[in-house]
Amino acid sequence: MKLVIIAGTGTEVGKTWLGCQLALQLGRAGFRVAARKLAQSFHPSELGRTDAELLAEATGERATDVCPAHRWYPRPMAPPMAAESMGLPPVTLAGLLAELSWPGLAHIGLLEQAGGLGSPQAVDADGTDVVKALAPQLVVLVAAPGLGTLSSTRLALRALGSQDAVVYLNRFDPADELHERNRRWLAEREHLEVLSRPGDLGRRVAQALERPAGRPGPSAGSDRPADAE
């Protein structure tokens, strides 16, 4: 099985939506896809449409397979902080990774992180630590297309180092001058691979699975609108 980590420059950038779209795209292409989330925190009103439940719908799995039931924290804060506020044992990276399992027949595993790349995933680890521990074939860094994205995207990629990564500008509108200038800056000045359509990302992921881990793909930019909200 090949691993793709879906990370973000921050929270609410559309990681779950994109993960679902990517799972559906790859499934239609003939890949068997599984999704996982090490832990999830949410507002109680979101129950029934939590990240794990949405990813389960897209992959045909059970929500408790996507994220173990005891790692569901009904508090809208970082998972280790939510666990602490509920009086639960500390969430450690070793504990989360020990619980991570994948179906044996899966071709592709999608692991969605909580919050942004620098957000605590455990009391002793953030998103970059998870990437280092799991060494995925590809990291998809989901970013907003508007003001502030140049800083957050560049800092996140700097933290990833040599890890093979692609930037996905969610909610990108080519008619918006700022969106387009941000895309061009990242693609042309920073020489980053920047995409904005789920279909393009699906093809890029399939391409990454054919290459040894760590070998970068071609630089690309898309000026077409995303289907996302």
Domain for residue 219, yes or no?
Answer: no
Question: Phi/psi class of residue 214: alpha, beta or left (left: φ > 0; alpha: ψ in -120 to 50)?
Answer: left
Q: Which of 66, 65, 93 is nearest to 79 (CA)?
A: 93
- Is 218 part of any domain? no
Decide if 35 is inside a domain: yes
DSSP sequence for 115-176: SSTTSEEETTEEHHHHHHHH--SEEEEEE-SSTTHHHHHHHHHHHHTTS-EEEEETT--TTS
- pLDDT tens digits, residue range 166-188? 999 999 999 999 999 999 999 99
> Structure pTM?
0.90
* Inside any domain, residue 217: no
In a domain? residue 221: no
| Residue 224 confidence (pLDDT) above 90 | no
Residue 165's domain comprises 2-208
pLDDT digits (tens, 9 = 90+) for 25-69: 999 989 999 999 999 999 999 999 999 999 999 999 999 999 999
Q: How many domains does the chain have?
A: 1
Task: Please say whether the dihedral angle defined by the alpha carbons of residues 102, 108, 114 and 118, taken in this order, is positive or negative.
Answer: positive
**Is 227 within 8 Å of 25 (Cβ atoms)?**
no
Active centre residues (catalytic): 37
Q: Where residue 62 sits, what CATH number does that domain have?
A: 3.40.50.300
Query: Residue 75 falls within a domain, yes or no?
Result: yes
| Residue of 139, 153, 130 lying closest to 208 (CA atoms) | 139
Asked if residue 117 is part of any domain, the answer here is yes
